[in-house]
Structure 1
Amino acid sequence: MTTTWTDGDPAAYLDAVTPAVRRRDAHTLRDLMERVTGQTPRMFGTSIVGFGEYHYEYPTGHSGDAPAASFAPRRAASTIYLPDGVGAHADRLARLGPHTTGVGCLYLKDLEQVDLAVLEDILRRSWATVTSGTFGQRARESS
């Protein structure tokens, strides 16, 4: 099943996030992504807060639309989705502070332990790449 934009209320969703540190970080991430993207947050599915949109198409022909910037406040860590892949940000990630990664995900347990200026730079660069009008791949295929 494909995840889509919903009519969920991002503010109400973020206000209900637990534990408290994740809720605090979720509000910080919302503010940061609003500033970086200039977009209003929307719910993508039931647990992803997204900003803007980009179109992707896989080599198989499957295509769709997804948030150009997004995050999910999960219990274990805040997940920041980087559609252009974490590899595109390796030099900045080295300066970020404590984190772990997946192919297109950045996991942060406590924003007070990371350099928010570096995180903002990562988000700005990812946003610029994904919204350039020429990006249409998935993180696994990105550099």
Structure 2
Amino acid sequence: MPYELKTKETDNSVTQFIEAVENPKKREDAYKLLDIFTEVTGYEAKMWGTSIIGFGSYHYRYRSGHEGDAPLVGFSPRKANISLYLAPGEPGREVLLQKFGKHKTGKACVYINKIANIDVVVLKQLIRDSVVFLRKMYPES
């Protein structure tokens, strides 16, 4: 049986999802991020799965044969923090993150508590670089 992707693009409303964010400050930051990601990417925001707001998409295929679609970039205002989905492996990422402000990194995510803790100019560059990097890695998307 082939692996079924949990995170797929859906027709769910991005605005309804943001409105359901309990913390008012996190909700406000989610709207700011929505504006930033939309402005930088030029893509309309789409829900991916139940909790990721994604912009654009690409089709990946691993050597193992596993393949699927994913947003080029995105974010999710979660209870603990805001997850930013930016391309791991993008060469300039680590240098930019040094100037980014207060954050933590995971395998594929960058976590922030609030926009006030980061440099929005650096965020915009991280978004741009991620989109360019993934478009080069997966040109057939």
TM-score (norm 1): 0.88
Q: Count matched residues.
A: 135
Structure 1 stretches of 5 or more lacking a match?
137-143
> How many percent identity over aligned positions?
37
Spell out, residue by residue over 1:43-97, the C-alpha distance to the aligned partner (whole angstroms, 9 max, x if none).
1011100110011111100101110111111011100112334764011100111
Aligned 8 A contact 2:103 2:111 in 1: yes
Tell me which of 6, 27, 36 is aligned to 1:32: 36
**Higher mean C-alpha displacement, 83-92 vs 110-119:** 83-92
Question: Is the contact made by 2:90 and 2:130 (CA closer than 8 Å) also made in structure 1?
Answer: no
Alpha-carbon RMSD across the aligned residues, in angstroms, is 1.6
Matched, 1:135 2:124: no
Q: Is the 8 A contact 1:83 1:130 kept in 2?
A: yes
Deviation at 1:9, TM superposition (A): 0.2
Residue 55 of structure 2: aligned partner:
51
What is the Cα deviation at residue 24 of structure 1? Answer: 1.2
Partner of 2:27: 23
Alignment partner, residue 61 of structure 1 = 65
Secondary structure at 1:96 match in 2: coil
TM-score by length of 2: 0.89
Q: Given the superposition, is the C-alpha separation of residues 122 and 70 from structure 1 closer, same or farther in structure 2, using an over 3 Å criterion? A: same
The CA distance in 2 between the partners of 1:88 and 1:77, in whole Å, is 24
Runs of 4+ in 1 over 4 A off after TM superposition: none
Q: Distance in 1 between matches of 2:138 and 2:108?
A: 14
Cα separation, partners in 2 of 1:14 and 1:109, compared to 1, 3 Å: same
Contact kept, 8 Å, 1:86 with 1:103, in 2: the verdict is: no
Question: Which residue does the alignment assign to 2:75?
Answer: 71
For structure 2, the residue ranges without an aligned partner over 5 or more in a row are none
Q: Distance in 2 between matches of 1:12 and 1:49?
A: 12
